[in-house]
Chains A and B, each alone.
Chain A
Amino acid sequence: MQTLNCTNKADSSFYSHFKMKISYLLNAAILIIFCCASSSCKRQEEVLTSLQKEDTQIATSAFATNVKMQEIKGGYYKPFYSSDSDALIKVEPFLMDERPVTNAEFLAFVKANPQWKRSAIKRIYADTTYLHNWVSDTALPKNALPNAPVTYVSWFAAKAYATAVGKRLPTLDEWEFVAMADETSINARNKKTYSNNILNLYLIKNRQYNAVKLSTPNYWGIYNMFDLVWEWTDDFNSVLINGESRSGDYNDKNLVCAGSATSATDVLNYAAFMRYGFRSSLKANYTISNLGFRCANSISNKTK
């Protein structure tokens, strides 16, 4: 296993004080996701216009972070959902932050990019609870640990942060691929202890207030996949388990466990099901008390 130290320095020549113009193409992509997520395309034109106007809103300035990235070698994995029970998804090698983005890091991002301050944020990019537990625009919540994961951040904000540090959000497949690992193996799905551990972790409340990296890393050297926060992925709403979680939608996507576990090993599916269920309840501008994110990057990007 190779460990890369991918410090993003503010003075690195490529990223130095760049203002990244988001293309209309990306705008359109955001629009589509936003529209689908908001379940109403009535105001499509209105939103498009405002997104075009808001171009500078999503432009971001670089700033320093020193999170270590781990190289994930990639491979094949069987998704929790599948139209074909034998179908495997290929995950290309990529880099992933070893831990979620922290309060301190997000504070630095907001300082460098005042358009993402709580008082400046546009509603289409984050709902009313965006960073709402912060004392002020530039002061973390009372008693919050600087090295606890940031929460109450929208998908737009997470994406903007990732852009600012020259990275991106992991895809759902990348995230789930890493989530298969326990401390000693790439795929621990069939180990009951591993499965039970995840389920137990998910049931703990208020774990988002703990500092990052206090638990044991997994096979890839990645910390905190399950024990602190739910995490945004780039395509969080690509698999929807809707509110009617017992409907034919199961069959549409052939979700492996549906609502009913049939054996002890299905405990794993309970945990995965909870994860997919949570993601399905999200809209891109949602900000939630136990939802944070970490960044990823493609290996080709880093070798440039």
Chain B
Amino acid sequence: MSNKLIIPCLIVALVFGACTNNSDSSQNSSKQSAADMVAEGKPEVAEITAAPKVPAPIGNRPPKKLIVNLETTEIEAVIADSLKYTFWTFNNTVPGSFIRVREGDEVELHLKNAANSVMPHDIDLHAVNGPGGGAAATFTAPGKESVFTFKAINPGLYVYHCAAAPVPMHIANGMYGLILVEPAGGLKKVDREYYIMQGEFYTKTKSAGLLEFNNDKGNAENPDYVLFNGKKGSLLGANTLEAKVGETIRLFIGNGGPNLTSSFHVIGEIFDNVYVEGGTTVNHNVQTTVIPAGGSAIVEFKVNVPGEYVLVDHSIFRAFNKGAIGKIKVTGDANPKLYKQGGF
């Protein structure tokens, strides 16, 4: 094995602990082998979850046939304080349900469009190899259902979104979510996993207390809100994320956009591992990671000191003026060796 191969192999081993094909674990061959994996057994309905929860890890299981049910809806929900916004969603939440599969899984995706929708919708999953990432097969009129099947062959964390015309409007209204494709053997076990997705909203007042999409602001890339999980305060107060001292936290972070790139940062923490852009490369000791619109990252960090840790888009006006702020509360014993008030 040449030096050139050793490094990628080590990375794959580090990331997924799955460098089983000793001699030829290059990207292409692992992709090939995932495509050849056989998904056996009867199709099962996949567990999917609303943010910030994620479904159970895939662990050691072999490839399966999974059925994923998504419904596109157009609903009024609180965006900030007492204001509502007309969101377009997958499964009534922004972001849409988290989908968790493993490489080699075959996924039969059912996209239902609610009968009371005004618009047709579809889905483009960035985890799919095929036309439109599924959009070409799922354009669905109100009250109808489309089905398409794909095999997940590239491990990573991927954005999915609606790609119906006009695309910017569907995404700006909240039609995005994440799908995780775990490598064979699964990601390394951690203590806590959470699902966070950033997205910005361009609004105008429709009636008292109700906002709706503002195309001009979207076009100018000048949002009124930049939010985690589609709502101001979705990770604050009673919704604050929790962890205990000594635990390792993994965040699956996506950015729905539609326009802005996120500079994701946790105040008071350093990311031990960042799966850069949600892919296979792992970076270490990262302060702030860039998450492009239509992209993702997986970040992992061990919390050592009790207290409140603030999640922000470090393009900082967005955090303190437009809503891109959340919290993790860490409880447990103080750790003066690492952090204390006062001098030696």
Contact = CB atoms under 8 A, between A and B. Distances in A.
A277 interface: yes
A286 B118 CA distance: 15
A194 interface: no
A214 interface: no
Contact of A259 (B119, B120, B143, B167): B167
B135 interface: yes
Given A288-B142, A289-B115, A277 B136 contact: no
Interface string A248-262: 000000000101111
Contact of B132 (A247, A288, A290): A247
Q: Which of B140, B143, B169 has the most CB of A within 10 A?
A: B143
Given A199-B215, A277-B164, A270 B143 contact: no
Contacts of B131: 244, 247
A267 B142 CA distance: 23
A289 B116 contact: yes
Interface residues of A, number: 40
Given A243-B136, A259-B165, A270-B166, A202 B118 contact: yes
Given A202-B118, A203-B212, A244 B136 contact: yes
B166 to A, nearest CB: 5
A269 B141 CA distance: 20
Interface in A189-218: 199-200, 202-206
A27 interface: no
B297 to A, nearest CB: 24
Interface in B73-121: 74, 86, 115-116, 118-120
A246 B167 contact: yes
B116 A205 contact: yes
24 contacts: A129-B143, A203-B206, A204-B118, A205-B116, A241-B165, A243-B139, A243-B163, A244-B132, A244-B136, A245-B139, A246-B132, A247-B132, A259-B168, A261-B168, A261-B215, A263-B219, A264-B219, A277-B164, A278-B120, A281-B139, A281-B141, A288-B143, A288-B144, A289-B143
